[in-house]
Amino acid sequence: MALKEKILEVMGGVHVGAVATVDQGRPAVRFMALRGQDDLTLVGATMKGSRKVQQISKSPDVAISIWSCGEYTDPYVVIRATGEVHEDRATRQKFWNEQWAQYFQSVDNPEFVVLTFVPTTIEYTDPTAGTMEVWEREAMVAAR
């Protein structure tokens, strides 16, 4: 199985991830529901006034860990990504999920924003096999 496919088995669809941002030079971690897209981008939602929006706006470098929370031997991913805050209606409409209605009421709530996380590197670890593989975004590799 190709590395991208193995990564998508861990992070594709909706998962809870530990998202780390930078707050005044120090790490700040919180759990977020994120949807893994086929292009390996992760998408989440939050309130415009949240600390994470402020932190990502100041420093878009984030780290994210996703694990199934099933067996200790399940594969997991550790992601370095660039976070972006999207306030425009087109993006909010594109990613709107009815499960978010309980928090944001509707896509038109001005406090509702979409967060996207575009990975630069993803470490895929399979504890059973004792292996770790690294995926890198091609544009990043070419820029080196």
Looking at residue 70, its pLDDT comes to: 84
Buried b (16+ CB within 10 A) or exposed e, 57-92: eeebebbbebbeeeeeeebbbbbbbebebbeeeebb
Looking at residue 143, its pLDDT comes to: 40
Looking at residue 139, its pLDDT comes to: 58
* Full pLDDT tens readout for the chain, 144 residues: 799 999 999 999 999 999 999 999 999 999 999 999 999 999 999 999 999 999 999 999 999 999 988 889 999 999 999 999 999 999 999 999 999 999 999 999 999 999 999 999 999 999 999 999 999 998 544 443
Cβ-based neighbours of 25, under 8 Å, separated by 6 or more:
none
What is the DSSP annotation of 59-117? --EEEEEEE-SS-TTS-EEEEEEEEEEE-SHHHHHHH--GGGHHHHSSTT-TTEEEEEE
Instruction: Tell me the domains of the chain and their CATH numbers.
Output: 3-143 (2.30.110.10)
Whole-model pTM: value is 0.91
Token pair recorded at residue 76: 């997991």
Q: Nearest CA to 56 among 136, 117, 109, 119?
A: 117
